[in-house]
Structure 1
Amino acid sequence: MAIPEGKIVALLGSNGAGKSTMLKAVSGLLPSERGEISDGSIMFDGKDITRMDAAERVRTGLSLCMEGRHVFEHLSVHENLVAGAYSRGGASTEDFDRVYTYFPKLGDMRARVAGYLSGGEQQMLAIGRALMARPKLLMLDEPSLGLAPLLVQEIFGYIRALNEETGLTVLVVEQNARRALEVAHHGYILEQGRIVLEGTAAELNENPDVKEFYLGLGDEGRKNYRQVKHYKRRKRWL
C-alpha cells in the first residue's frame, strides 16, 4: 500500500479485516500488544521505519487518532492540545491558532473538561491534538464511529479542508465507505489481512462488488441462501 504525499487515502474493510492492525503496524504500536511485523517493511519519507519505536515515529511526522477518540478526560480542551505537542517539546501560539481556526467549537470551549464533551466534540479534539504534533501523515482510525450522520459529515468536512488548505497527507480507516470515498483520492479494500482491491475513489465507487458489499447499492430485491453464498464467494475477489 502506498500513500502519496498530499493525498487522502481510504482503507476500507469489514470488522476483523485487519484495518486497525495495519495502522498499529505503521504507527509502531504493535509491540505494545505483543505483536510484530514478521514480513515486509514500512517506508516513510524515504526511510525504513519498520523497527523504529512509536515515539520516534511521532517525531518523524506520523500522528495517529486511535479508534474511540481516547482524549484525556480529566484535562481541559486546551490541556489536551498541550499534550499533543509534547513530542516536539512544546506548542506555539501558531499551533493553537491553527487548531482553533479549523475547529472553532474547540476554541469556544477551551477551558472545558474534555470528559464532558459530546462524541463529535471529542473527535474534533482528538484530531486537533494530533495536529499539534505537526504531522506529515495523519492517520485516522474510524473517525465516524458512534457519531450521528450530521456529525460524521462535519468531521469529514474538516478532514477535506485540512487536506485542501494545508496539503496534509491523510490515511483514513473507515467502515463508512461512502463517506470515506467522498473525501479520498485513492482507496484500498482489505479482506482478512490482504489488500484485495485498490483504485481511485471514483473507480471504487463504480465497482460492482464495492457497491454491493460496502456502499449498499447492489441489485434490488431479497436474496435467497444460494445467492448469498454466491455473493460471499465473489467478495473474496480471488
Structure 2
Amino acid sequence: MSRTPAALTVENLEVIYDQVILVLRGLSLEVPAGQIVTLLGSNGAGKSTTLKAIAGLLPTEHGDVTDGTVRFDSLDITGMDAAARVRRGIAMVMEGRRVFEHLTVHENLVAGGYTRGAKADYARVYEFLPALAALRSRVAGYLSGGEQQMLAIGRALMSDPRLLLLDEPSLGLAPRLVDEVFRVIQRLNQELGLTALLVEQNARQALAVAHRGYIMESGRIMLDGPAAELADNPDVKEFYLGLGDAGARRRYRDVKHYKRRKRWL
C-alpha cells in the first residue's frame, strides 16, 4: 500500500488568518522518514494550523503562509495546492473524522482514492482494516465514533500516502477505542513504514507510539526531543501528563526548565 516513506521539514513558518491574526510564529520541525512524530500543546497553540499548512488546506479557512518553507522529500511545496500535495504522497485525517455521512463505507473509500484512479487498492485497505470490510455497505453516518475514525484513516490510506497527518484521532472516543486507534497508527508505521505527524491532546498515548515529540505554545515550538525523554521530563509530566504538582498552574513558557531549553524568543 505505502510507497517509500519521505521526510518532512518545516522551517520558520509563519501563518496569518484573515490577513491579521498571526497564529504560527517562526515554527520549525522535522519528521524523519519512517518515523512517528507527535505535536503536543494546549488548545489554541497552533497544532491544527500546522497540519493544515503542511497539507495545503489553509486557503479554505482564509489562512496564508506569510513566511518560511515546507519541504517534502527535499522539494519546496510551500506554494503547492492541496490536490498536488496529495498526489505527491501527503494525506490528512481531519479532526472530528469528517466522513461523508450520506455515503457508504465503500463510497467513502472511493472518494479517498480518486487521485489513484484505477490503481486505487481497496483490497489492501480492507485487509489492513478488516472492520471496514464487514461494514462496506453501511452508510457512514450510522457508524459509531470509533468506526468513523477507522473509516477516516482508511479513506486517507486510499491515496497511498508516504506521509500521514493525523489531527486529534482520539477525540471523543472511549478509552478502549482510543487504544485501538493508536494500535492502528503504530501498525501503519511498523508494518508499512508510513511516516506520520500526529497532533494529539492525549499526550500519554501519543508519546507511547511516537519516536519524537514537539511541544507548542502560542505558535512556537517550546521543547522537543525523543518521545521517551519528553515522557520522562518533569515539566511535561506536570503540564501534559497530569503527574506533577496540582498546585498553581503556570504557563509552560514560564517554567525554569523551558527557559534553559528555549530556542526562539
For normalisation by structure 2, the TM-score amounts to 0.84
Counterpart in the other structure of 1:22? 50
Aligned pairs for 1:57-96 within 5 A = 57-92=85-120, 95-96=121-122
Taking a change above 3 Å as real, the CA distance of residues 119 and 91 of structure 1, as seen in their structure-2 partners, is farther
Could you tell me which amino acid in structure 1 is paired with residue 60 of structure 2?
Answer: S
Q: Percent identity at matched positions?
A: 65
Taking a change above 3 Å as real, the CA distance of residues 89 and 178 of structure 1, as seen in their structure-2 partners, is same
Shift of 1:98: 1.6
Q: State the SS of the aligned residue for 2:198.
A: strand
Asked if residue 122 in structure 1 is aligned to residue 143 in structure 2, the reply is: no
Could you tell me which amino acid in structure 2 is paired with residue 99 of structure 1?
Answer: V
Q: State the SS of the aligned residue for 2:196.
A: strand
Asked if residue 201 in structure 1 is aligned to residue 227 in structure 2, the reply is: yes
Taking a change above 3 Å as real, the CA distance of residues 54 and 235 of structure 1, as seen in their structure-2 partners, is farther
Shift of 1:87: 1.5
Shift of 1:89: 2.2
Number of corresponding residues:
231
Any conservation in 1 of the 2:189–2:196 contact (CA below 8 Å)? yes
Counterpart in the other structure of 2:201? 175
Counterpart in the other structure of 1:163? 189
Any conservation in 2 of the 1:82–1:91 contact (CA below 8 Å)? no
Asked if residue 45 in structure 1 is aligned to residue 73 in structure 2, the reply is: yes
Shift of 1:176: 0.4
Shift of 1:228: 3.4
* Aligned residue among 130, 136, 153 for 1:110: 136
Counterpart in the other structure of 1:228? 249
More strand by share: 2
CA RMSD of aligned residues (A): 1.6
Taking a change above 3 Å as real, the CA distance of residues 236 and 31 of structure 1, as seen in their structure-2 partners, is farther
Q: State the SS of the aligned residue for 1:36.
A: strand
Taking a change above 3 Å as real, the CA distance of residues 229 and 147 of structure 1, as seen in their structure-2 partners, is closer
Shift of 1:90: 3.8
For normalisation by structure 1, the TM-score amounts to 0.93
User: What is the rounded CA distance, in whole Å, between the counterparts of 2:229 and 2:208 in structure 1?
Assistant: 12
Taking a change above 3 Å as real, the CA distance of residues 53 and 231 of structure 1, as seen in their structure-2 partners, is closer
User: What is the rounded CA distance, in whole Å, between the counterparts of 1:230 and 1:50 in structure 2?
Assistant: 32
Could you tell me which amino acid in structure 2 is paired with residue 18 of structure 1?
Answer: G
Q: Structure 1: any 5+ residue segments left out of the alignment?
A: none
Counterpart in the other structure of 1:154? 180
Any conservation in 2 of the 1:6–1:163 contact (CA below 8 Å)? yes
Any conservation in 2 of the 1:91–1:132 contact (CA below 8 Å)? no
Shift of 1:135: 0.3
Q: Structure 2: any 5+ residue segments left out of the alignment?
A: 1-28, 260-265
Runs of 4+ more than 3 Å apart: 227-232
User: Which deviations, in whole Å up to 9, do the C-alpha atoms of 1:175-202 show, x marking residues without a partner?
Assistant: 1000101110000001110000001111
Taking a change above 3 Å as real, the CA distance of residues 107 and 190 of structure 1, as seen in their structure-2 partners, is same
Q: State the SS of the aligned residue for 2:165.
A: strand
Q: Is 118-127 or 100-109 further displaced after alignment?
A: 100-109
Taking a change above 3 Å as real, the CA distance of residues 112 and 197 of structure 1, as seen in their structure-2 partners, is same
Taking a change above 3 Å as real, the CA distance of residues 113 and 231 of structure 1, as seen in their structure-2 partners, is closer
Higher relative contact order (CA 8 A, sep 6+): 1
